[in-house]
Amino acid sequence: MLSAIALLVLGKIYYTNHNHLVLFLYGVTVTTVVFFTFFITYVKYQDPYEAIKSRSTHKKPLISCVFAVYNDGDVIKPCMDSLINSTYKNKEIIVVNDASTDSTKEILKQYQGIKGVKVINLTKNVGKKKAIGQGVRVAKGEIFVFTDSDSVVAPDAIERVIEIFIHDPLVGAVSGHARALNADENLITKVQDSWYETQFSVKKAFESAYNSVCCVSGPLAVFRREAIYNYIPAWENDTFLGKEFRFATDRQLTGYVLGNMYIGHKLKKKYAHSPFVYEVDYPPRDWKVMYCKSAKVWTVVPNTFKKVLRQHIRWKKSFIRSLFFTGTFYWRKPKVAAAKYYLGALFALIGPFIALRHLIYLPLRGSMLSGIFYLSGILFVGSLYGIYFKIDNPNASGWYYRPLMSIFSTLVLSWLIFYSALTINKSIWHRG
């Protein structure tokens, strides 16, 4: 795979048209970044849990599993059951019902008598961030385990992640490895499942190799208390362009861990009146943010075209918000990780216009093969991700859907960045 991408890079250098310098540099840079993403993942990333030589024999710390629900009556039971049945025993489970109007409240009543389970029913809908903030206010754990209400955590996933925190006191946050819970539902969910697999096992692994994962993803996001506790009021009250910003829950929270040393003092000063700040002041540290490949979690993915679009619009709004926050200090992180972060942002803006040029402009000018070559390149790279999926999961059958996601992303999803930017202050928190 690495040899194939290297040949593609050399081909672009020696055989593409050098007359359009900007376009030439773009093509070579994109392909080179793909090469180094795979290369660094292959040679440098190791699952931090698997890397631990000896497991801790001391008493495991108390952890707080906290998550918010809103009209999730059809998915909440599997999520609750997976947390209760986790092999990690020293835990409390705090679920915050954000004024649901469906059967959620009635279903949660079934769990209120279970030891360690606390249900908070809000009377007014406040949004995901503030709902989780309510849970954190009463949480007693040294480590916070956040998940989404439509996710199912593997029995040993939390155990694995907590071992990483115990082993290294500088670990501030860890992301689990997510796949689609409803992967077999239809073609749309199968394609997304193949994409989830490689987004985590390749891209998050690359960032984790430099202890700088820029988004600890919602299905299984684990944070050390002292890395985020003082910044909960900033997270709850996050604004962008003068308005409350309800998205970027995962990215923004990760940003506080990554930027502890750079923005921590300013944020604590701004919210000095909050109990999160004045009750205990944790010193800023240069925290590691990692990804644990063996900590598995499955989450419900959109099953219709419309729902996929809505999800990616929300994600792209989060990406934009994060760029104006995390992007202000991520350059301080290891140079290779930082370079990929900023180049990725640049590609997100330029990529749609490159596609437009190859698929519409050049064919209209008589270059009919340009579109074919361009789509072939997208399929080629998508196929490499698919092969990586197959290598990691020899018994999996969904790896061949991965190239379809590359095409769909290029032709449709990439353009949503502009719509997301234009509508960035429109925010409603819901799954549908």
SS3 289: strand
Residue bearing tokens 């199968």: 190
What pLDDT is stored for residue 408 in this prediction?
Answer: 96
DSSP state letter for 16: S
Which of 98, 92, 130, 90 has the alpha carbon at shortest distance from 111? 92
CB contact at 8 A, 107 and 44: no
| Those residues with Cβ within 8 angstroms of residue 397's Cβ, 6 or more apart along the chain or in another chain | none
What pLDDT is stored for residue 432 in this prediction?
Answer: 46
* CATH 3.90.550.10 describes domain 60-302: yes
DSSP-H helix ranges across 199-304: 205-208, 225-228, 232-236, 249-258, 260-270, 275-278
**List of E strands, 123-198:** 143-146, 151-153, 171-180
Q: How far is residue 8 from each of residues 14, 22, 270, 350, 378, measured CA to CA in Å?
A: 10, 18, 50, 20, 12
| Those residues with Cβ within 8 angstroms of residue 245's Cβ, 6 or more apart along the chain or in another chain | 238, 239, 321, 425, 427
The H or E element containing residue 407 is helix 402-411
Q: Which two tokens stand for residue 42?
A: 């292959």
Q: How far is residue 339 from each of residues 95, 271, 332, 347, measured CA to CA in Å?
A: 39, 32, 11, 12
CB contact at 8 A, 389 and 197: yes
Q: Where are the domains of the chain?
A: 2-46+333-422, 60-302
Residue bearing tokens 């944020």: 267
CB contact at 8 A, 47 and 175: no
Q: What are phi and psi of 40, to 5 degrees?
A: -65, -40
Rounded-to-integer distance, Cα 344 and Cα 336, Å: 12
What pLDDT is stored for residue 197 in this prediction?
Answer: 96
Q: Which two tokens stand for residue 183?
A: 């992967």
| Those residues with Cβ within 8 angstroms of residue 320's Cβ, 6 or more apart along the chain or in another chain | 417, 420, 421, 424
What pLDDT is stored for residue 57 in this prediction?
Answer: 76
Amino acid at 313: I
pTM exceeding 0.85:
yes
What pLDDT is stored for residue 21 in this prediction?
Answer: 80
Task: Please give the biggest Cα pair distance in the chain.
Answer: 72
Counting every residue written for the chain, the total comes to: 432
Which of 376, 387, 366, 361 has the alpha carbon at shortest distance from 410? 376
Tens-level pLDDT at each residue, the chain (432 residues):
888 888 888 887 777 766 778 888 888 899 899 999 999 999 999 999 999 988 877 789 999 999 999 999 989 999 999 999 999 999 999 999 999 999 999 999 999 889 999 999 999 998 899 999 999 999 999 999 999 999 999 999 999 999 999 999 999 999 999 999 999 999 999 999 999 999 999 999 999 999 999 999 999 999 999 999 999 999 999 999 888 888 778 999 999 999 999 999 999 999 999 999 999 999 999 999 999 999 999 999 999 999 999 999 999 999 999 999 999 999 999 999 999 999 999 999 999 999 999 999 999 998 888 889 889 989 999 999 999 999 999 988 889 999 999 999 999 999 999 999 999 887 665 554
